[in-house]
Structure 1
Amino acid sequence: MSSETVNTSGPTTGTGPSTNPAQVVYHGDLTSIKFNGLNYLDWSRAVIIALGGRRLLGYVNGEIKAPAETDAKYSDWRATDYGVMAAINNTILPELGRNFLGAATARDMWLAIETTYSHKGDDAKLFEIKESIRKCTQGNRSMQEYYSELQGLWDELKVCEKPCPNCVQTGEKNKVFDFLMGLNPEYESVRSMVFAQLSLPPIGSVYYAIQ
C-alpha cells in the first residue's frame, strides 16, 4: 500500500499554522467511501473524521488560516493545503471531482461541495425529510431498526438545516417526540413514563430505557 507524507500544522491560535508542524503519513485514501453526489452525509462525515485524526481539519473548517504570502510559514501552509485538496479530491468520483479543482484552497473546495450537495437551506428537501420523519413508525421492525432509520433522518435534517445555536434544546425534544410517536401501541406505558418526569430526558436515554 502506498503512502504519502504531508507536512502539516497542529492546532493554531491567531491566523497561521503553529511553529511546530507535525509529520502526518497517509496510508491509502482518507476514506473508502467514494463520493458519488448522492451520499454527501456519509462521505462528509468520514472525511471530517479522517482529517480530524490527522490534525488537518482546520484546513477545511477555517480554523487554520493562511499566513501572509511574505510569511516564512506560507510555503509550508500552501503545500499542506494542496495536499488536503488532493486527498479530498481522491475520495470523489472523477466526473464530479473535476468540478472543484478550480478552488483556491481546501476550505473553498469544501464549501463548494457543501453548497452544491448538502441541500442546506433547501426548503423542499427539509419538507421531504420532515415528512419522512412524520411517517416513520416502528411497525414490524425491531426497536434498533426503527431507531436507526430515525437517526439517519435526523442526521439528514441536521445537514440541511441552517445553524441555529438557540434551537439545540428544541431539536432534542423533537427527537423524543418523533421517536415516541412512532412506537407501537404496546409502548404506551413508556410514553407515560417519559412525560411523567420533571424534565424531558434526551433521546439517547429514552431509547436505552426501552432496550
Structure 2
Amino acid sequence: MTDTRQTSTEKSLSKHPNTSNVTSTMDSSSPYFVHHSDQPGHVLVPTKLNGSNYPSWSKSMIHALTAKNKIGFINGSIEPPSETEHSTEYALWNQCNNMILSWFTHLVEPNLTKGVIHAKMARQVWEDFKDQFSQKNAPAIYQIQKSLASLSQCMMAVSAYFTKLKSLWDELDTYRSIPACNLMKAHIEQREEDRMMQFLMGLNDTYSGVRSNILMITPLPNVRQA
C-alpha cells in the first residue's frame, strides 16, 4: 500500500519534466527550491500523529517545515498559482505541495492516512488535522497540571527536579495559545513568577533558608537564575 502511494506521488512530481531543471538553478532561499535530499518518503519528525499527540506533533512539524522553507504551503502564505496563466510557477508549487502531502502520509498513523491520500492541498490536510485534534486539550492539560501540583523534589537532585519540572512546563506550553504581541511581556513575566513559585514549593525543607532568601529578592529572579 505504501509503495502505491509513493508511485502516485512520484508520478505527480514528474508530471512536469522541466521542473527539476528549474529547481537545480533556483536560489535555495526560494520556497519552491527542492533539495536533493527532499524525497517523498523522507521522515521529517520522529513521531507519527496519532491524534492525542497533536500539540507536540504539530509544533515539531512547524519547526521542520520552517527549516525547509515550506511553512508557507500549510499556513496559507503561498497560494497556488494559476495553472493556465503561470504554468511554470504552478508546476513548481505542485511539486512542493505533493512532496509535503507525501511527507504527511509517512508522518501519521495508518488510520489517518486516508485523509491525506485523497487530499489535493497540503494546507487543507493541515487545517483538517487542526480542526480534528486541537480542541481535545482539557484532559491533557488536567493531567499535566495534576503532575505539576504533586511534583516535589524528594530524593531527586535539584537539577533532576528542575529538569522534570521544565519538561512538564514545556509540554503544557504546547497546549497554550500565544498571546498578542502587546501582551507578550506581561504573559512571560507572570509565567516566570508562577514557575518560580512551583519550583520553590517543591523543594525539600533543607532548602528553606535559600527559599526565603530568594523570595526576598526584588524583582524575583527567573527559575534558571534561582
TM-score range, shorter chain: 0.7 to 0.9
2:22 matches 1:23? no
Q: Could you tell me whether the CA contact under 8 Å between 2:65 and 2:71 is conserved in 1?
A: yes
Cα deviation, 1:111-130, whole Å, max 9, x if unaligned, reads: 3223333446x445433332
TM score, norm. by length of structure 1: 0.73
Cα deviation, 1:84-120, whole Å, max 9, x if unaligned, reads: 1211221112112323445443233223223333446
Counterpart for residue 17 of structure 2: none
| Structure 2 counterparts to residues 1-211 of structure 1, below 5 A | 18=30, 21-24=32-35, 25-26=37-38, 28-62=42-76, 64-69=77-82, 70-72=85-87, 73-119=89-135, 122-165=137-180, 166=183, 167-206=187-226
Q: Could you tell me whether the CA contact under 8 Å between 1:139 and 1:184 is conserved in 2?
A: yes
Show structure 2 runs of 5+ residues with no match: 1-9, 14-19
Counterpart for residue 209 of structure 1: none
- In the alignment, the residues of structure 2 paired with residue 47 and residue 40 of structure 1 have an alpha-carbon distance, to the nearest angstrom, of 10
Q: Relative contact order, CA 8 A, sep 6+: which one is greater? A: 2
Let me know the Cα RMSD of the aligned residues. Answer: 3.1
TM score, norm. by length of structure 2: 0.69
The secondary structure found in structure 2 opposite 1:194 is helix
Counterpart for residue 7 of structure 2: none
- In the alignment, the residues of structure 2 paired with residue 115 and residue 78 of structure 1 have an alpha-carbon distance, to the nearest angstrom, of 24
Q: Could you tell me whether the CA contact under 8 Å between 2:154 and 2:204 is conserved in 1?
A: yes
Relative to 1, partners in 2 of residues 1:96 and 1:154: Cα closer, same or farther, differing over 3 Å? same
Counterpart for residue 4 of structure 2: none
Percent of counterpart pairs with the same letter? Answer: 26
* Amino acid aligned to 1:161: R
Relative to 1, partners in 2 of residues 1:32 and 1:133: Cα closer, same or farther, differing over 3 Å? same
Cα deviation, 1:172-202, whole Å, max 9, x if unaligned, reads: 2222222221122222233223323222223
The secondary structure found in structure 2 opposite 1:130 is helix
* Amino acid aligned to 2:163: S
Structure 1 or 2: more strand by fraction? 1
- In the alignment, the residues of structure 1 paired with residue 223 and residue 50 of structure 2 have an alpha-carbon distance, to the nearest angstrom, of 32
- In the alignment, the residues of structure 2 paired with residue 106 and residue 29 of structure 1 have an alpha-carbon distance, to the nearest angstrom, of 16
